[in-house]
Chains A and B, each alone.
Chain A
Amino acid sequence: MDIKNSNPKFMVTAQQIFKDFEKDERLANKKYVDNLIQINGIIGHISYENGMSIIALKGDNDISSIICQMLPEANSNVLKLKKGEQIMVKGICTGYLLDVMMVRCLITNDNFNEK
């Protein structure tokens, strides 16, 4: 799937998608997994590993978050971000462990060129 040029199937807040998984994982899997989802949330932390960046958006509590594995082309934009900032991330949902997991993510804020 062309993440950059495709429209998200659902647009949700980090709290909402987290709540959906916490309430009924099976139902949330059906709704979100394998689909392109756009999530609006606050950055909890950012980490870099193997040339890849990972953004965790704050969920409903201190333990759980939305973990977004970013595409390599998002790296230059991720470098401009800081903890506590509100951002919009678009990517594919893979499911739920302690956290909601997203892969192949891009940032879709208006002030970035990726939109």
Chain B
Amino acid sequence: MKNRFIILFVFLVASQLFSQEKYLTKEGYISFFSHSLAEDIKADNYQVLSIIDKKTGEIAIQLLMKSFMFKKALMQQHFNQSYVESYKYPKAIFKGFIIKFNELESQSSTVEIKGILSIHGKEKEISTQAKIEVLKDQINLSGNFMVEVADFDINIPVVVRNNIAKTIKITFDLQHNPFK
């Protein structure tokens, strides 16, 4: 666990040294959505940190679980305290690659992103399609993918099990600018 943070830290520090190749956002958007017959639950996070290395297509994303905003304060409290245990695992981290990033031929296209998603201290390999836009001073990534709650060892109490989907939809919209 600690090693991973050190690796990420080194990656971030390295980003600062070779800034012209790195694109970054600190105000990216990620939401999750759970649909069940009982209720729909959505939470939004507008404080996502994402860094793309334009040279290699490497991407690193970090967010704070506590920055997910719910409609109902009580839901947010249950989410942080009981389900994802934010006091123990404050961050979700994704580290991976935009496949064939340097072979993109048009400004706007679809790419595959592959990497490791870490939530609640558990790692899971993720692969998803994303819409990408590469402009002069901007790289935009958007899309969505599904994750299984069970893959991340998140325990949902029996009493609310019908209210929370087994599969959660994650939506992302990340607009990166050159790292100055």
Contact = CB atoms under 8 A, between A and B. Distances in A.
Interface of A: 29, 33-34, 47, 49-50, 52, 54, 63, 67, 69, 94-99, 101, 103
Q: Which of A47, A52, A67, A95 has the most CB of B within 10 A?
A: A95
A47 B47 CA distance: 13
Contacts, number: 47
B118 interface: no
20 contacts: A47-B27, A50-B46, A52-B46, A54-B27, A54-B46, A63-B16, A67-B27, A67-B47, A94-B47, A94-B67, A95-B66, A97-B26, A97-B64, A97-B91, A98-B26, A98-B49, A99-B49, A101-B47, A103-B47, A103-B67
Interface in B31-49: 46-47, 49
Nearest to B27: A54
B130 interface: no
A98 B12 contact: yes
A97 B46 contact: no
Contacts of A103: 47, 66-67, 69
B46 A95 contact: no
Contacts of B49: 97-99
Nearest to A64: B26
Q: Which of A67, A97, A98 has the most CB of B within 10 A?
A: A97
A70 to B, nearest CB: 11
Contacts of A99: 26, 49
Given A34-B66, A95-B64, A97-B64, A69 B46 contact: yes
B64 A67 contact: no
Contacts of A97: 26, 47, 49, 62-64, 91
Given A34-B66, A97-B49, 16 more contacts: A29-B90, A33-B66, A49-B27, A49-B46, A50-B46, A63-B16, A67-B27, A69-B47, A94-B66, A95-B67, A96-B64, A97-B47, A97-B91, A99-B26, A103-B47, A103-B66
A111 B12 CA distance: 39
A52 B26 CA distance: 15
Contacts of A98: 12, 26, 49
B143 to A, nearest CB: 18
Top-5 shortest CB links A-B: A94-B66, A95-B64, A97-B49, A94-B67, A94-B64
Contacts of B26: 67, 97-99
Interface in B55-110: 62-64, 66-67, 69, 90-91
